[in-house]
Amino acid sequence: MHSSRHLRRPLVAVASLSLIGTLAACGGGSDSAASSTPGVTDDSILVGTHMPLTGPAAAGYSTISPATKAYFDYVNDKGGVHGRKITYKVKDDGYNPANTQSVVRELVLKDKVFAVVNGLGTPTHTGVLDFLKTNKVPDLFVASGSRSWNQPEKYPTTFGFQADYTTEAKVQATYIKENLADKTVCFLGQDDDFGEDALKGLTQILGEDGVKERQSYVTSNTNVGPQIGKLKAAGCEVVSLATVPGFTALAVGTAARLQFKPQWISTSVGADYSTVAGALGEAAPLLEGFLSTNYLPSQFDDDNEWITLFKKINEDYNKGAPFTGNTVYGMTVGYLFVQALQQNGKELTRQSLIDTIEEGGLDGPGLMGLRFSKDDHSGYGGAQMAKITGTTQDYFGPVYATDDGETPVKEYTEGATTPPKDGIPTE
C-alpha cells in the first residue's frame, strides 16, 4: 500500500524518579514504584475499560476489547513487558452514560486499575473525564474521535487514539469537493459531540452553505424514518454519516425502503464492512459503492504485514473470531499500550507513563503518524478514502494528514510502518 519503514525512537528518559524509587534501587530488590502504584506489582499490570458489550452500540464494538486482550495475551506468553503480565478487565456499560460512571468508579476505586485503556463512546466517556482526572488515572487511547480527549491543560491524563471526527470529515469533504462538486451534500449524525465534530469538518471544507440538510438521531430511538425522509425530500445526492454501525445499517436500509439512493460516505466508526453487512443481513448488497475514511490498515489487505500479524494472533488468542476492522482497531490499541510500557522502562508510575506518551515516540500500524506531545493529546492525524466493492472494502487515493482545526488536508508522504520481527515493540 505504501513504502514501509519501522520507526525506532530513543527510549524516553524519566528525568525524576521519586525518593522511594531511588531507595528501592539501592535496597533489597523490591520494586517500590510498583508497590506504590495502583494496579502494578513486580510481575503484573491491571488495566480496565468500559465497553458496550450489550446495547445499541454492541454490534461490532463488542469485539474490540477481546481483540485487545488477545494481543495482551500474545505478549504475556512471550514474557510480558519488563517482566510484567497485563490483565485487561472489561466492564459492560451498555453504551449508557450512567452505567459508564458506575463501572469506571468500580474499576478505579474497587479494582484499583493502573489505567483505563480504550474506554468507548463519546457520550459515555465524556461523563468520566473529571473523575479520572481527579484520581490521576491514565485515561489512554479513548475509543472515540471526539475532540474532547485533546485537552491536555484541562484533562492532563486523557489521550485520544483514533483520527478525530473533524479530521475524518475534512478528508471526506476534500474528496467530495474534488469528485462530487455538482452534487447536493447532506448530513446525518449522532446527536452529541460525535455528530457535531464531524459536521464541523464538512463545513470547514465545503462551507456552511455546502451542506444543505442536516439531520440527527439519538441512540435510544431506532426509527430513523423521519430523518431519512427529510434527506430524500431535500434532494440529497451525497449523505455524510456520523453514525455507529447499527445506525449506519438503519440509515441504509430505511433509505432503500423509501427508494432513496444517495452516495453514502461515512466516518470509520460506522463503516466497517463486516459489521454493517452483518447488521443488514440479506440486504448487505445495498452497501455497494459505500464510501468511508479510515486511518488503520484494511483488514482485506493481505499484503500488509500488520494484518498478517494480527490475523495470526486472532487465530491463536482470540478463538478464531471473525477478523474485522474492529479486530485491527483493538489490536492496534494493545500494541500502542505495550509500546508505551516498553518505552517507559521498568520503573512504572502513572505519571511516568503519561510523560512517556507525551514524548511522542509511539507509532504502530496507522497509515500516518500519531500527534502525541505535551501540548497535543489527540491520536492519528489523518485518513484515507475507502470504497466497498462486493464484499471487500478497498482503500484508494492518497493518505491525507491534517489537524482538527481549519487547516486544509495535505498528502502524507512518509509511508507506513512495519511491525517488529515478533510483533512486540522494543524499547
pLDDT score, position 12: 36
- pLDDT tens for residues 16-25? 333 333 333 3
- pLDDT tens for residues 173-224? 999 999 999 999 999 999 999 999 999 999 999 999 999 999 999 999 999 9
Report the percent of the chain where pLDDT is more than 90.
86
Count of CB atoms situated within 10 Å of the CB of 234: 14
pLDDT range class, residue 415, cuts 50, 70, 90: confident
pLDDT range class, residue 28, cuts 50, 70, 90: very low
- pLDDT tens for residues 42-73? 999 999 999 999 998 998 899 999 999 999 99
pLDDT score, position 13: 36
Residues in a beta bridge with 394: 387
Task: Give the HSE-up count for residue 94: Cα atoms under 13 Å, Cβ half-sphere.
Answer: 8
Mean pLDDT of 333-338: 98
